[in-house]
Protein backbone atom coordinates (compact mmCIF):
# COMPACT_ATOMS: atom_id res chain seq x y z
CA UNK A 1 0.00 0.00 0.00
CA UNK A 2 1.22 3.47 -0.89
CA UNK A 3 0.75 6.35 1.51
CA UNK A 4 0.57 9.69 -0.28
CA UNK A 5 1.49 12.73 1.80
CA UNK A 6 0.03 15.60 -0.10
CA UNK A 7 -2.01 18.76 -0.49
CA UNK A 8 -4.51 19.59 -3.19
CA UNK A 9 -2.14 21.31 -5.64
CA UNK A 10 -0.99 20.46 -9.19
CA UNK A 11 2.08 18.64 -7.82
CA UNK A 12 -0.14 16.70 -5.45
CA UNK A 13 -2.69 15.88 -8.14
CA UNK A 14 -0.01 14.34 -10.38
CA UNK A 15 0.51 11.55 -7.89
CA UNK A 16 -3.20 11.08 -7.18
CA UNK A 17 -3.74 10.65 -10.93
CA UNK A 18 -0.80 8.25 -11.28
CA UNK A 19 -2.00 6.08 -8.39
CA UNK A 20 -5.46 5.93 -9.94
CA UNK A 21 -4.00 5.13 -13.37
CA UNK A 22 -1.92 2.22 -12.11
CA UNK A 23 -4.70 1.07 -9.74
CA UNK A 24 -2.41 0.76 -6.72
CA UNK A 25 -3.99 0.67 -3.30
CA UNK A 26 -3.27 3.98 -1.58
CA UNK A 27 -4.25 6.23 1.25
CA UNK A 28 -3.85 9.99 1.47
CA UNK A 29 -2.33 11.73 4.47
CA UNK A 30 -3.11 15.42 4.16
CA UNK A 31 -0.29 17.88 4.79
CA UNK A 32 -1.93 21.27 5.29
CA UNK A 33 0.64 23.56 3.68
CA UNK A 34 -1.46 26.64 4.52
CA UNK A 35 -1.03 25.81 8.20
CA UNK A 36 2.71 25.08 7.86
CA UNK A 37 2.44 21.33 8.48
CA UNK A 38 5.18 20.78 5.88
CA UNK A 39 7.70 22.25 8.34
CA UNK A 40 6.97 19.80 11.14
CA UNK A 41 10.09 17.76 12.04
CA UNK A 42 8.29 14.46 11.39
CA UNK A 43 7.42 15.49 7.82
CA UNK A 44 10.87 16.99 7.18
CA UNK A 45 12.36 13.57 7.88
CA UNK A 46 10.78 12.33 4.64
CA UNK A 47 10.80 15.65 2.76
CA UNK A 48 14.11 17.50 3.07
CA UNK A 49 12.80 20.68 1.39
CA UNK A 50 9.46 20.63 3.28
CA UNK A 51 7.46 20.08 0.09
CA UNK A 52 4.61 17.84 -0.88
CA UNK A 53 4.18 15.34 -2.47
CA UNK A 54 5.98 12.45 -0.79
CA UNK A 55 5.07 8.77 -0.85
CA UNK A 56 5.81 5.95 1.54
CA UNK A 57 5.59 2.45 0.13
CA UNK A 58 4.47 0.27 3.03
CA UNK A 59 5.32 -2.89 1.11
CA UNK A 60 9.07 -2.32 1.18
CA UNK A 61 9.35 0.67 3.58
CA UNK A 62 10.65 2.96 0.82
CA UNK A 63 9.97 6.69 0.88
CA UNK A 64 10.27 8.95 -2.16
CA UNK A 65 10.14 12.75 -2.35
CA UNK A 66 10.00 14.98 -5.52
CA UNK A 67 7.05 14.41 -7.83
CA UNK A 68 9.19 13.42 -10.85
CA UNK A 69 11.06 10.80 -8.82
CA UNK A 70 7.75 9.55 -7.41
CA UNK A 71 6.26 9.20 -10.90
CA UNK A 72 9.32 7.27 -12.09
CA UNK A 73 9.23 5.02 -9.01
CA UNK A 74 5.54 4.21 -9.49
CA UNK A 75 5.94 3.77 -13.25
CA UNK A 76 8.81 1.33 -12.77
CA UNK A 77 6.97 -0.55 -10.05
CA UNK A 78 3.77 -0.85 -12.12
CA UNK A 79 5.54 -1.12 -15.49
CA UNK A 80 3.15 1.46 -16.88
CA UNK A 81 3.47 4.80 -18.71
CA UNK A 82 7.31 4.65 -18.87
CA UNK A 83 8.25 2.20 -21.55
CA UNK A 84 11.98 1.45 -21.91
CA UNK A 85 11.94 2.23 -25.63
CA UNK A 86 10.56 5.73 -24.94
CA UNK A 87 12.48 6.62 -21.77
CA UNK A 88 14.78 9.18 -23.35
CA UNK A 89 11.85 11.17 -24.76
CA UNK A 90 9.74 10.76 -21.63
CA UNK A 91 12.60 11.93 -19.38
CA UNK A 92 13.05 15.11 -21.41
CA UNK A 93 9.38 16.10 -21.22
CA UNK A 94 9.17 15.05 -17.59
CA UNK A 95 12.25 17.09 -16.62
CA UNK A 96 10.90 20.07 -18.60
CA UNK A 97 7.78 19.91 -16.47
CA UNK A 98 9.66 19.57 -13.18
CA UNK A 99 12.31 22.21 -13.95
CA UNK A 100 10.41 24.70 -16.09
CA UNK A 101 6.67 24.30 -16.67
CA UNK A 102 5.67 23.76 -13.03
CA UNK A 103 7.93 26.29 -11.31
CA UNK A 104 7.23 29.07 -13.83
CA UNK A 105 3.46 28.57 -14.02
CA UNK A 106 3.63 28.38 -10.22
CA UNK A 107 5.07 31.91 -10.22
CA UNK A 108 2.23 33.05 -12.48
CA UNK A 109 -0.19 31.67 -9.86
CA UNK A 110 1.63 33.62 -7.17
CA UNK A 111 1.67 36.99 -8.95
CA UNK A 112 -1.53 36.85 -10.99
CA UNK A 113 -3.89 34.76 -8.87
CA UNK A 114 -2.87 34.98 -5.22
CA UNK A 115 -1.12 38.37 -5.04
CA UNK A 116 -2.50 40.39 -7.90
CA UNK A 117 -1.74 44.13 -7.70
CA UNK A 118 1.46 43.65 -5.67
CA UNK A 119 4.01 43.58 -8.49
CA UNK A 120 3.35 44.72 -12.05
CA UNK A 121 6.73 43.36 -13.08
CA UNK A 122 6.02 39.89 -11.63
CA UNK A 123 2.53 39.79 -13.11
CA UNK A 124 3.71 40.74 -16.60
CA UNK A 125 6.78 38.54 -16.55
CA UNK A 126 5.05 35.32 -15.52
CA UNK A 127 1.97 35.91 -17.66
CA UNK A 128 4.29 36.19 -20.66
CA UNK A 129 6.24 33.09 -19.68
CA UNK A 130 3.03 31.09 -19.12
CA UNK A 131 1.75 32.21 -22.52
CA UNK A 132 4.94 31.04 -24.12
CA UNK A 133 4.67 27.68 -22.30
CA UNK A 134 1.14 27.28 -23.75
CA UNK A 135 2.50 28.15 -27.19
CA UNK A 136 5.44 25.75 -26.98
CA UNK A 137 3.28 22.90 -25.69
CA UNK A 138 0.75 23.61 -28.43
CA UNK A 139 3.46 23.41 -31.05
CA UNK A 140 4.76 20.13 -29.65
CA UNK A 141 1.24 18.69 -29.58
CA UNK A 142 0.67 19.73 -33.19
CA UNK A 143 3.28 17.12 -34.15
CA UNK A 144 2.74 14.51 -31.48
CA UNK A 145 -0.35 12.98 -29.89
CA UNK A 146 1.13 13.14 -26.39
CA UNK A 147 4.13 15.03 -25.04
CA UNK A 148 6.70 12.26 -25.40
CA UNK A 149 5.23 10.67 -28.52
CA UNK A 150 2.27 8.54 -29.52
CA UNK A 151 1.64 7.16 -26.04
CA UNK A 152 0.25 8.65 -22.84
CA UNK A 153 3.10 8.65 -20.31
CA UNK A 154 4.20 10.07 -16.96
CA UNK A 155 5.28 13.23 -18.84
CA UNK A 156 1.59 13.91 -19.60
CA UNK A 157 0.56 12.97 -16.07
CA UNK A 158 3.08 15.49 -14.71
CA UNK A 159 2.09 18.36 -17.01
CA UNK A 160 -1.68 18.01 -17.26
CA UNK A 161 -2.52 19.24 -13.69
CA UNK A 162 -0.73 22.53 -14.43
CA UNK A 163 -2.87 23.15 -17.49
CA UNK A 164 -5.91 22.13 -15.42
CA UNK A 165 -5.39 25.45 -13.62
CA UNK A 166 -6.15 27.25 -16.92
CA UNK A 167 -8.95 29.31 -15.35
CA UNK A 168 -6.37 31.03 -13.14
CA UNK A 169 -4.10 31.77 -16.10
CA UNK A 170 -6.34 34.14 -18.10
CA UNK A 171 -4.71 33.08 -21.35
CA UNK A 172 -7.54 31.25 -23.10
CA UNK A 173 -6.72 27.57 -23.44
CA UNK A 174 -9.29 27.23 -26.22
CA UNK A 175 -7.10 29.37 -28.52
CA UNK A 176 -4.37 26.71 -28.40
CA UNK A 177 -6.03 24.06 -30.52
CA UNK A 178 -3.56 21.20 -29.96
CA UNK A 179 -3.03 21.83 -26.27
CA UNK A 180 -6.79 22.07 -25.86
CA UNK A 181 -7.31 18.75 -27.68
CA UNK A 182 -4.68 17.07 -25.44
CA UNK A 183 -6.16 18.63 -22.31
CA UNK A 184 -9.72 17.50 -23.10
CA UNK A 185 -8.69 14.02 -24.09
CA UNK A 186 -6.80 13.46 -20.85
CA UNK A 187 -9.65 15.07 -18.86
CA UNK A 188 -11.93 12.28 -20.03
CA UNK A 189 -9.84 9.45 -18.59
CA UNK A 190 -11.62 7.82 -15.65
CA UNK A 191 -8.41 7.68 -13.60
CA UNK A 192 -7.76 11.38 -14.22
CA UNK A 193 -11.28 12.29 -13.13
CA UNK A 194 -10.77 10.30 -9.90
CA UNK A 195 -7.16 11.46 -9.38
CA UNK A 196 -8.09 15.11 -9.87
CA UNK A 197 -10.30 14.67 -6.82
CA UNK A 198 -7.88 12.44 -4.89
CA UNK A 199 -8.82 14.25 -1.69
CA UNK A 200 -12.46 13.32 -2.27
CA UNK A 201 -13.82 16.85 -2.08
CA UNK A 202 -16.15 16.39 -5.05
CA UNK A 203 -13.94 18.49 -7.37
CA UNK A 204 -14.73 18.49 -11.09
CA UNK A 205 -12.16 19.09 -13.81
CA UNK A 206 -12.51 22.64 -15.19
CA UNK A 207 -13.50 22.57 -18.87
CA UNK A 208 -12.82 25.70 -20.92
N1 LIG B 1 9.88 20.08 -7.22
C2 LIG B 1 8.88 19.69 -6.27
C3 LIG B 1 7.99 20.86 -5.98
C4 LIG B 1 7.01 20.57 -4.89
C5 LIG B 1 6.31 21.82 -4.41
O6 LIG B 1 6.65 22.95 -4.77
N7 LIG B 1 5.30 21.61 -3.57
C8 LIG B 1 4.56 22.73 -3.03
C9 LIG B 1 3.06 22.54 -3.27
S10 LIG B 1 2.68 22.42 -4.99
C11 LIG B 1 4.77 22.79 -1.52
O12 LIG B 1 4.94 21.79 -0.88
N13 LIG B 1 4.77 24.00 -1.00
C14 LIG B 1 4.88 24.23 0.41
C15 LIG B 1 5.92 25.27 0.71
O16 LIG B 1 6.62 25.74 -0.22
O17 LIG B 1 6.07 25.62 1.89
C18 LIG B 1 8.08 18.50 -6.83
O19 LIG B 1 7.89 18.46 -8.05
O20 LIG B 1 7.68 17.63 -6.05
pLDDT tens, position by position, 25-52: 999 999 999 999 999 999 999 999 999 9
Helix locations, 23-64, DSSP H:
41-44
State whether 53 and 101 are in the same domain. no
State whether 184 and 89 are in the same domain. yes
Q: How many domains does the chain have?
A: 2
State whether 61 and 120 are in the same domain. no
Q: How far is the CA of 52 from the centre of ligand 1 (A)?
A: 5
- The closest residue, in CA terms, to atom 14 on ligand 1 is 51
Residue 175 belongs to some domain of the structure:
yes
State whether 92 and 176 are in the same domain. yes
3-state secondary structure of 82: coil
- pLDDT reading at 172 higher than 90: yes
Bridge pairing between strands 54-57 and 26-30: unpaired
Q: How far is the CA of 103 from the centre of ligand 1 (A)?
A: 9
Residue 41 belongs to some domain of the structure:
yes
Residue 194 belongs to some domain of the structure:
no
Query: Using only C-alpha atoms, what is the Rg of the chain?
Result: 17
- What range defines the domain where residue 39 resides? 2-81
Q: How far apart are CA 51 and CA 13, in angstroms?
A: 14
Mutate to test the pocket of ligand 1, among 6, 11, 50, 109 (most ligand atoms within 8 A of CB): 11
Report the DSSP beta bridge partners of residue 63.
Answer: 56
Q: How far is the CA of 76 from the centre of ligand 1 (A)?
A: 23
Summary mean pLDDT of the chain: 98
Minimum-distance ligand 1 atom for the alpha carbon of 65: 20
Q: How far apart are CA 208 and CA 206, in angstroms?
A: 7
CB contact at 8 A, 108 and 130: yes
State whether 74 and 117 are in the same domain. no
Residue 200 belongs to some domain of the structure:
no
State whether 28 and 107 are in the same domain. no
Burial class of residue 173 in the structure, from the number of CB atoms within 10 Å of its CB (0-12 exposed, 13-18 middle, 19+ buried) = buried
Whole-model pTM? 0.97
Going by pLDDT thresholds of 50, 70 and 90, the confidence category of residue 208 is confident
Q: Which tens digits make up the pLDDT trace of 88-102?
A: 999 999 999 999 999
Amino acid sequence: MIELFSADTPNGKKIGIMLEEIKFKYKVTIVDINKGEQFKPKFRKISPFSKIPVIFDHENQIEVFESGAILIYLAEKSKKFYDDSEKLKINQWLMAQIGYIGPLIGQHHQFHHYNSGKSKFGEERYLKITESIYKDLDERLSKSKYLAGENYTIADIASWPWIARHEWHDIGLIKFKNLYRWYLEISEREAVIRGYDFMKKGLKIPKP
